[in-house]
A and B are shown apart, each in its own frame.
Chain A
Amino acid sequence: MNLDNKKLMEKLVDMATAKGADSCDVIFNTGKSLSMSAQEGELDSYKVSGSKIAGIRVIKDSRVGISYTEAFDDEALADTAVKAIENSKFGEVNEFETIEHAVEEDLVHKGDLEPVEGEVSAQDKIDLCLKLESEVKSKDERVKGVPYNGLSESSTEGHYLNSLGTFAYDYESYVSCYTSALLKEGDKNSMFYYGTVDKHYKNLDWKKCVEQAYEHSRNWLDASPLKTGKYDVIFSIDQFESLFGAFRGMFSGKRAQEKSNPMIEQLGKKIANEKLNVMDMPMYSQSFFKSPFDSEGYVRSDLSLIENGVFKNLLHNSATSKFFKTENTFRAARGARGPLGVSGTTTVIQKGGDKSEKVVSGKYFEICNMQGLHSGLNFMSGDFSFGASGYLVEDGKRVQSVNGVTVAGNFYKMLQNINALGDVTLASSGRSFFAPMIRFEALTIAGS
């Protein structure tokens, strides 16, 4: 932890206080990264970066103002403090948003004491990057390219300081790699991309990236659409993480306060199959990122979101909990540029009691890739329709590679229509989402 950073934050707090802020807090983030990619057996690109950003939130006369800067001379800092106070004058009176959390002892979390930097030599990194291309190419003469590949390492420091002296510090570092396989045979082509992440180079499973990218791309070269109809569906863990993430706003207390959470009236009611239990677990042992405190400096603990199918809790910060006159669940989130919001940490869907044989029995569509997640859904209605690729599976055996189809349904209804919940917990490739295999009933597949 760099004490100069804390001093800079204290200076910004002092400036805002001197300009008349009743209270304020500062988010200060720094980051360093290195990334590279390969093309045609040579290093194609190499990028390094170092960045800093500070954002202040002031409260004056019960109104909130926000400003940020990437310049750190005294003039820029003073200007940032003044702008935040000026912005507050135009905000509405907000009796719910206050800064009142005072903790004497600094909160410090270092995600990994051993920094990534210097773990392996620069040449080793370049060699690994080149392998992400060459190993895929060596798999099959039909591999016509590895258009997307790369290796990166990154470290971030997050700092929080408020005018009551509460200070929190969080350090994280990670390495990641990804690759792709573009296969062509006659008029047919297919491509798949796979990435992985870890704390250390020695654990980085780059071979899995190569295998996954090649395997799916090879299989989908001979893929065909399913016949249009209703199919049971099992999403791969990564695809289900993406789909679940697109509708995670249903747990947002902030959205509820803004009347943009379609599920708010269902709080306390049964919304899902009774087998379903969803937890938000900031310190889950298998999770890649731990998240011990929130963006108001409060210490987090596990939170049940859905229990036996009943919608149990929302993600709240101090302001949304006051608005709803309920307990704070300490899920405040704020970036340096933005306002106070909420966010979850690691999502864990508890394993069910169904044996694998039951989950995969009969015929279903296994979805391994979806396109259009950012556009093909309506969060308010829950309706979605995406392009999809995967496999038709019968009794656990992939019998047909599938491409060129759409999968459509309604997410909120889908939670009720669970046929089976597996008894083994799976981790997403980013180790930020954990769930068993879940078999959903009768989604609409459009194909041939």
Chain B
Amino acid sequence: MLDKNIAADVLHEAISLGADFADVFVERKNVQNLSFNSSKVKDIQSGTDFGIGVRLIYGKQYLYGYTNSAKKEDLIELTRNLAAQIKNSANKTFASKFSSNEYPMIGSFEDKTATLDQKVAKLKELDKLVRNQGEHIAQVNISLIQYNQQVEIFDSEGLHASESRPYCRMAANAVARDGQAQTSGSWNPGARGGYSFVEGLDMKWIAEYLGKKTHTILFADPCPAGTKPVVIDNGFGGVIFHEACGHLLETTSVQKKASVFWDKKEEMIAHEALSAVDDGTIDNLWGSLSIDDEGMPTQKTQLIKNGKLENFLSDRMGELKSGHKRTGSARRQSYKFAPASRMRNTFIEPGPHKLEDLIATMDDGIYAKSMGGGSVNPGTGEFNFAVEEGYLVKNGKIEKPVKGATLIGKGEDIMKKMSMVGDSLDYAAGMCGSVSGSIPVTVGQPPVKVDEILVGGNA
């Protein structure tokens, strides 16, 4: 996408102006979004994002700029503007040689050729199936999001790496109504790959899932508030680990000592029943990458093993500032952001228990079958998540559905209360927002029991 000679000239300029390290990130993203509402095509959008980011590192400080121009003079001017902020006149030179990097390409769903007509037909099929789930379905909104992100990275250590990253996601949302009572539910599967991912989805299953879920929430009672045990089911339930612990293991917060775990490496930070990984190498998963946004091959990183903190997720700045080795975790939404250490596919590893066994241990608790999103304050570890579909459990048995529940707590407390781990691991796609923008990530877990957590509700 960018002439090698121009990249070399920019890096030479940066190094001759005293930078200890510099890199150039080139991105072209082709996007096509199709949205469907009221059983009709609502919008079809397509477009191209293009831009180049230049980063200069001086000691432990970085300067970053971006532009839509690939012209040499514009990139050199940008580099000079950045370097002008630093009083450093060291006169070094860049060798102007790039080496070919070998790394395994992560697998992805085939980008099967499909016309817009075929895609529209697929959404129509799902729309019809969802509407057939019952009279309570008042509206269906479906989006098909496809984009291909091509990245190319050059750096002053001679690295030249590139990757084409295909993404495909469907977002299906059903609105349910009964008199004045209304609610909604959604199912948003995503994968690394092309349209064949959508062709492999079981539309009938998705329709039935949305029909049941919205019906359950619509007629559920408000959730009673209080401190209770909670069993969180698999798949998107993994958002609890993502928020309560994952963000606190990114050097983005660790390097600022803004994580409660910054000095806890090799210490027990979780219940011994719990092991967790962040793995960017799994074929077809939404958060997988062949290389990270610094051009480093991605990897599987064991975060916690039997409760002990083993590793942090680190990028170049994280390594410079915290000393933790890079893990292929440098990520960014686009050329408009400098990279930061971020999660990829993060999940709790399976344990020995059946879901029914976990539920049976609760005398008065909540079974969170489906979770919404959440957030965390890394400095204090305080987190929150929404329960989309929940059930009150009495004497080990599911009693009735409840709505409007939120779980809150502190990461360092809750990790020690995850005492039982189920055997059925599942993944779910999500978007994660943080310092380097919004990026695709996978969360995952088997069913997990939390011995005690504050449940917010409106009963």
- Residues on A facing B (Cβ under 8 Å): 39, 42-52, 55, 64-72, 76, 79-80, 83, 87-88, 90-92, 122, 126, 144-145, 147-148, 180, 182, 189-191, 225, 228, 258-260, 262, 337-339, 371-372, 374-381, 383-387, 403-410, 444-447
Q: Which of B45, B256, B383 contacts A67 (CB 8 A)?
A: B45
Residues of A within 8 A of B456 (CB): 385-387, 405-408, 444, 446
Contacts of A90 in B (CB 8 A): 41, 44, 116-117, 120
- Which chain B positions have C-beta within 8 A of A380? 175, 182-184
B454, A91: Cβ atoms under 8 Å? no
**Interface membership of B306, Cβ < 8 A:** no
Q: Which residues of A contact B82 (CB under 8 A)?
A: 46, 48
Interface residues of B, Cβ cutoff 8 Å to A: 31, 37-38, 40-51, 60-68, 78, 81-82, 85, 116-117, 120, 138-139, 141, 175, 181-184, 217, 222-223, 225-226, 253, 256-258, 260, 336, 338, 372-375, 377-386, 403-406, 408, 454-459
A409 → B minimal CB distance (Å): 6
Complex interface: chain A residues within 8 A of B37 (CB)? 258-260
Cβ-defined contact, B43 with A64, below 8 A: yes
Contact A147 B454 (CB under 8 A): no
B338–A45 touching, CB < 8 Å: yes
> What chain B residues lie within 8 Å of A407 (beta carbons)?
456
Nearest CB on A from B243, distance (A): 10
Distance, CA A88 to CA B43, complexed state (A): 9
Q: Are A372 and B139 in contact (CB under 8 A)?
A: no
Q: Is there an interface contact between B258 and A182, defined as CB atoms closer than 8 Å?
A: yes
| Of A189, A260, A372, the contact of B380 (CB 8 Å cutoff) | A189
| Nearest neighbor of A180 in chain B, beta-carbon distance | B379
Give bound CA distance, A403 to B381, whole Å.
13
Whether A71 lies near B48 (C-beta < 8 A) is: yes
Interface centre among A50, A148, A374, by most chain B C-beta atoms within 10 angstroms, is A50
- Judged by DSSP, the binding face of B is strand
B225 x A446 contact (CB < 8 A): yes
Bound CA–CA A284/B249 (angstroms): 45
> Known: A147-B253, A190-B380. Is A375-B374 also a contact (CB below 8 A)?
yes
Closest-by-CB residue of B relative to A92 is B40
The answer to whether A372 touches B374 (Cβ under 8 A) is: yes
Q: Which of B65, B217, B372 sits near A48, CB closer than 8 Å?
A: B65
User: Is the Cβ of A446 less than 8 Å from the Cβ of B68?
Assistant: no
Residue of B nearest to A76 (CB): B48
CB pair B45–A386 under 8 Å, yes or no, is no
Measured between C-beta atoms, what is the minimum distance from A63 to chain B in Å? 9
A191–B380 CB distance below 8 A:
yes
A403 smallest CB distance to B (angstroms): 8
Residue of A nearest to B78 (CB): A48
Could you tell me the distance between the alpha carbons of A194 and B78 in the complex, rounded to whole angstroms? Answer: 31
Are B51 and A408 in touch, CB under 8 angstroms? no
B144 to chain A: closest CB distance in Å?
12
Q: With a CB–CB cut-off of 8 A, which chain B residues contact A55?
A: 47
Of the candidates B37, B81, B258, the one having the most CB atoms from chain A within 10 angstroms of its own CB is B258
28 contacts between A and B (CB under 8 A): A42-B61, A46-B63, A47-B338, A49-B66, A49-B67, A68-B46, A79-B48, A83-B46, A87-B46, A90-B44, A91-B43, A126-B85, A371-B382, A372-B375, A372-B385, A378-B184, A378-B217, A380-B184, A381-B403, A383-B222, A383-B458, A385-B405, A385-B458, A405-B454, A406-B454, A408-B222, A408-B456, A446-B456
Q: Given the complex, which residues of A lie within 8 Å of B120, measured CB to CB? A: 90
Which one of B41, B48, B63, B386 lies within 8 Å of A69 (CB-CB)?
Answer: B48
Instruction: Report the Cα distance A126→B85, complex, angstroms.
Output: 9
Contact of B454 among A64, A126, A404 (CB under 8 A): A404
With contacts A372-B406, A383-B222 known, what are 5 further pairs, Cβ within 8 A? A71-B68, A145-B257, A225-B454, A259-B139, A337-B45
Asked if A51 and B66 make an inter-chain contact with CB atoms under 8 angstroms apart, the answer reads: yes
- Tell me, rounded to whole Å, the shortest Cβ–Cβ distance linking B52 to chain A: 11
A190-B380, A375-B373, A444-B457 given; A87·B48 CB < 8 A: no
A375 touches B375 (CB 8 A): yes
**B43/A66 in contact, CB under 8 A:** yes
A45 to B182, Cβ gap below 8 A? no
Complex contacts, B379 vs chain A, CB 8 Å: 145, 147, 180, 182, 189, 191
Residues of chain A within 8 A of B138, CB atoms compared = 259
Task: List the B residue with the shortest CB-CB distance to A71.
Answer: B50
Contact B373–A374 (Cβ < 8 Å): yes
Chain B residues with Cβ below 8 Å from A406 are 225, 384, 406, 408, 454-457
User: Which of B386, B404, B457 has the most C-beta atoms of chain A within 10 angstroms of its own C-beta?
Assistant: B404
A356 to chain B, nearest CB (A): 29
Among A49, A66, A71, A385, which residue has its beta carbon within 8 angstroms of that of B336? Answer: A49
CA distance A11 to B81 in the complex (A): 32
Q: Which residues of chain B are near A65, meaning CB under 8 Å? A: 44
* A287–B456 alpha-carbon span in the complex (Å): 36
Contact A67:B46 (CB < 8 A) given known A51-B51, A145-B256, A446-B226: yes
Cβ–Cβ < 8 Å partners of A447 in chain B: 454
Taken together as a complex, chains A and B put the C-alpha atoms of A213 and B253 apart, in Å, by 18
Q: Please, how many angstroms separate the alpha-carbon atoms of A372 and B46 in the complex?
A: 32
In whole Å, how far is A64's beta carbon from the nearest beta carbon of chain B?
7
Please give, as numbers and ranges, the residues of chain A lying within 8 Å of B46 by CB-CB distance.
66-68, 83, 87
Q: Is the CB of A80 within 8 A of B47?
A: yes
Q: Check A259 against B175 for contact (C-beta < 8 Å).
A: yes
A122/B408 in contact, CB under 8 A: no
A residues in contact with B47, CB < 8 Å: 55, 67-69, 80, 83, 337
Q: When A66-B44, A147-B258, A444-B225 are in contact, do A376 and B384 touch as well, CB less than 8 Å?
A: yes
User: Considering the chains assembled together, what is the distance between the CA atoms of A259 and B456 in angstroms?
Assistant: 30
Residue from A44, A52, A91, A378 in contact with B44 in the complex, judged by beta carbons closer than 8 Å: A91
Q: Which residues of the partner chain A approach B381 to less than 8 Å between Cβ atoms?
A: 189
Q: Distance (Å) between the CB of B368 and the closest chain A CB?
A: 13
Q: Verify A50–B64 contact, CB threshold 8 A.
A: no
**Do B404 and A387 touch (CB < 8 A)?**
no
